[in-house]
Chain A
Amino acid sequence: MVDVLLYALAAGLLLALISGPLGTLVVWQRMAYYGDTLAHSALLGVALGLVLQVNVQLAVLLTCCALALALTALQRWRATTLDSLLGIFAHSGLALGLVAISLLSGRPVDLNAFLFGDLLAVDRAQLLQLAAVVAVVGALLARTWHSLVSIAAHAELAAIEGLPVARLRLLMMLLIAITVATAMKAVGVLLVTALLIVPAATAGRVGRSPEQVALGAIAAGMLAVSGGLAGAWWLDTPAGPSIVLCAAALFFATALLPAARR
């Protein structure tokens, strides 16, 4: 039985390694809604995976990436209406996914696992998959971090200084999509954005440099995962919501700290 907890813990900690820095980028660029859209549409990927009888995880990943590409194209086409477009995508994606899954009669589908996550069900094979995803995303992120920070600070200056802003933005969108698709396993589609945003916002209050915020977000994410899993183990609460609650508790705790920065 302890294996179950160890796998879950390892998966959560690995996830925090990429959700921390990507979450800070999401917070800096005020893209929370974008994360929501991806996450909610991930349920569409679940439905697709079930209909086509392919690996659900893979279907979710591809759906999120396809949506990231579509949204990037839309943004370039017309930037002003993106906000409402995101709202339409987010909720119609979620609704369509729910309807499609319910229509798949004859197959028992545990909707809760997709909506709220099922970290304690992670097995050895899934853990290895997750480690591979984290390694690839982490490496790409480390390589482009400096440029992505520059774009988050001022995109036009970054462009004039020679950075390929459009390509880097696309890469970041895809990395977020991959992270959302992967983190869905842990906390579910409804809470994925919280795992991105809350640790990053917590660290943003304490850090003094972009790197400190990113590392702080990793640390806060890891603390939340550990605390949430401890709650799930001993109090028998659902793991995903417990993790998000822990992250939120950390956020409010730092808000109560004596003004660290100013």
Chain B
Amino acid sequence: MSTEAAELLRLEGAGLARDGQWLLQDIDLSLVAGQIVSLIGPNGAGKTTLVKLVLGLLTAERGRVWRRPGLRIGYMPQRLQLNPAMPMTVNRFLALSRAPRTAIAAALAETGIAALGSSPMQDISGGETQRVLLARALLRRPQLLVLDEPAQGVDIAGQTELYELISALRDRLGCGVLMVSHDLHWVMAQTDSVVCLNQHICCHGHPAHISSDPAYLSLFGERHAHALAPYRHRHDHRHDMHGDVVNAKPQPQNAATDREQGRG
């Protein structure tokens, strides 16, 4: 609990240009343990560039990027396109991270795909692939999870389940989360803070404030924003990966009891 407000990563006036054009300018951003920050913005707004800046795959030309020393980042890329001539099982893909076998089994269980370990990567569905990528991010035992459109290529029901899994993981691991998302319903209902990006940060704050911010309205259109405003996402059941309703105990409760037992 004492680390609740621990800052993991901070960008101060960060900027990046390519071919004389600014891709990102004057970015101030702070990521804190236990908080979900979602990144929204139109196509070409520089969301993926910002993600790469946070990950350290790109370096800022202006401003600075501070990371907590020894920060462990788990990254879930937008999509995985394995060469079809590169056969490997899910287990082998996860072993590329050099994590021990027990950790791999645990990550598979945590992401709800324990049965898929020996399936070829080329044979699993889009939703399952996203879970495999999430599992690989978890193998880093991340203090910060960075997710670039995690629900891409996943059907609607699977998306909801994936988002809930991410929320549950945040609760359980206490990690900070930075996520690029197009799903404004989820962004507004479930995230702690929203960053609205269009080469620079247009607006930034709690979802409730953001949705009435003029910058947000001009970027996403007033009609769309109003349609979202009364929506409160309250999920009282779960879906499996095929979209069927499963009235099992919700994931977070299971996690809580697991943790209690682990401590005792």
Contacts and interface: CB of A to CB of B under 8 A. Distances in A.
A208 B120 CA distance: 8
A231 interface: no
A2 B84 CA distance: 42
Given A210-B87, A210-B92, A153 B82 contact: yes
B244 interface: no
B136 A152 contact: no
A156 B75 contact: yes
B96 interface: yes
B97 interface: yes
Interface string A150-182: 101110111111000000000000000000000
Contacts of B96: 146, 149-150, 153, 157-158, 161
Contacts of A161: 96-98, 140
B52 to A, nearest CB: 8
Contacts of B85: 24, 27-28, 200-201, 204-205, 213
Interface in A214-232: none
B166 to A, nearest CB: 18
A152 B87 contact: no
Nearest to A204: B85
Contacts of A154: 77, 80
The 3 closest A-B pairs by CB, nearest first: A204-B85, A150-B96, A28-B86
| Majority secondary structure of chain A interface residues (helix, strand, loop or mixed) | helix
Interface residues of A, number: 29
Interface string A185-226: 000000000000000110011011110110000000000000
A262 B97 CA distance: 27
Given A153-B82, A213-B86, A160 B92 contact: no
Contacts of B115: none
Among A154, A159, A201: residue with most chain B CB under 10 A: A154
A213 B140 contact: no
A209 B119 CA distance: 11
B75 A207 contact: no
Interface of A: 24, 27-30, 146, 149-150, 152-154, 156-161, 200-201, 204-205, 207-210, 212-213, 261-262
Contact of B57 (A29, A149, A156, A207): A156
A261 B122 CA distance: 11
A209 B56 CA distance: 31
Contacts of A158: 96
B43 interface: no
Contacts of A207: 87
B123 interface: yes
A210 B85 CA distance: 9
A153 B93 contact: yes
Contacts of B136: 157
B83 A160 contact: no
Contact of A30 (B82, B83, B87): B83
B113 interface: no
